[in-house]
Amino acid sequence: MDGFTPASALIGGAMIGTAASLLLILNGRVAGISGILGGWLDAPSRGSGWRAAFLAGLVLAPLVHGLVASLPPVAVEASFPLLAVAGLLVGFGARLGSGCTSGHGVCGLARLSPRSLVATGTFMAVAILTVLVTRHILGA
């Protein structure tokens, strides 16, 4: 949070919104990362080109940014087993909720989807509860 400014948040949000809108308008697809990845893994022959390009962009964009500007330092203090379990739980939750925070929170709320409103509210409530328990009750 050292480099946070309201302007950078506004620009970043506008870029995410523009990209999600263009994907929906031009391709008729929702920019939900779990759905894009799941579709690419499940049926690689059907519609895999745009999915592969989208996923490649997610990986390449920070690498290209790192060539022209310095990236903020990242410090991961959790153990690998904890990260692996957390990743599996997030993947399970995304499948259970029929989407992830990008699909429901960015695209679904913009389309006024009631299901996305419930899903995003659930994501946020669980995140708040997790921080409360891990940081303030367990003291981790």
DSSP 21-40: HHHHHHH-----HHHHHHHH
Rounded Cα gap, residues 21 and 17, in angstroms: 6
- What mean pLDDT do residues 111-139 have? 89
The domain spans of the chain are: 6-137
Per-residue pLDDT of 94-113, as tens digits, reads 888 888 888 888 888 888 89
Q: pLDDT value at position 110?
A: 85
Rounded Cα gap, residues 95 and 70, in angstroms: 35
Q: pLDDT value at position 2?
A: 65
41/14: higher pLDDT:
14
Rounded Cα gap, residues 63 and 138, in angstroms: 36
49 neighbors 34 (Cβ within 8 angstroms):
no
Q: pLDDT value at position 27?
A: 86
Cα 24 from chain centre: 17
- What mean pLDDT do residues 25-43 have? 84
**Sequence-ordered list of residues with C-beta below 8 angstroms from that of 78, at least 6 positions apart, any chain:** 86
Per-residue pLDDT of 50-91, as tens digits, reads 888 889 999 999 899 889 988 778 888 889 998 999 888 888
